[in-house]
Amino acid sequence: MNLIEIRDLTIGYDGKPVVSGLNFDISEGDYLCILGENGSGKSSLVKAILGLKSAYSGHIHFAQGFSRREIGYMPQKTEVQRDFPAGVFEVVLSGCQGAMGLKPFYGRAEKRRAASAMERLGITEIKNECYRNLSGGQQQRVLLARALCSADRMILLDEPTTALDPPSTAEFYRIIESLNSDDGVTVVMVSHDTAGALENSNRVLHLGGMESMFFGETADYVKTKLGKKFLGGDE
- Torsion angle, alpha carbons of 43, 48, 52, 57, to 10: 120
Per-residue pLDDT tens for 140-187?
A: 999 999 999 888 799 999 999 887 888 888 999 999 999 999 999 999
DSSP string computed for 65-113: T--GGGEEEEPPPPHHHHT--SBHHHHHHGGGGGGSTT--S--HHHHHH
User: What residue ranges do the domains of the chain occupy?
Assistant: 29-56+153-235, 79-151
Determine the pLDDT at residue 84: 67
- Give the model confidence (pLDDT) of 72-99 as tens digits: 999 887 654 566 678 999 999 988 876 6
pTM: 0.88
Q: Alpha-carbon distance 43 to 18, whole Å?
A: 11
Q: How far is CA 178 from CA 81, 181, 185, 220, in A?
A: 26, 5, 9, 23
Per this entry, what is the length of the chain? 235
**Where does the pLDDT of residue 100 fall: very low under 50, low under 70, confident under 90, or very high at 90 and above?**
low
pLDDT category, 14, cuts 50, 70, 90? confident
pLDDT at position 116 is 92
Are 201 and 33 within 8 A, CB to CB? Answer: yes
Whether the predicted pLDDT of 210 surpasses 90: no
Give the C-alpha separation, 74 to 181, whole Å: 19
Q: Rounded to an integer, what distance in angstroms lies between the CA atom of residue 86 and that of residue 68? A: 27
Task: Note the CATH number of domain 29-56+153-235.
Answer: 3.40.50.300
Q: What is the pLDDT of residue 81?
A: 59
From the CB of residue 87, how many other CB atoms can be counted at a distance below 10 Å?
Answer: 14
Q: What value does the mean pLDDT take over residues 35-60?
A: 91
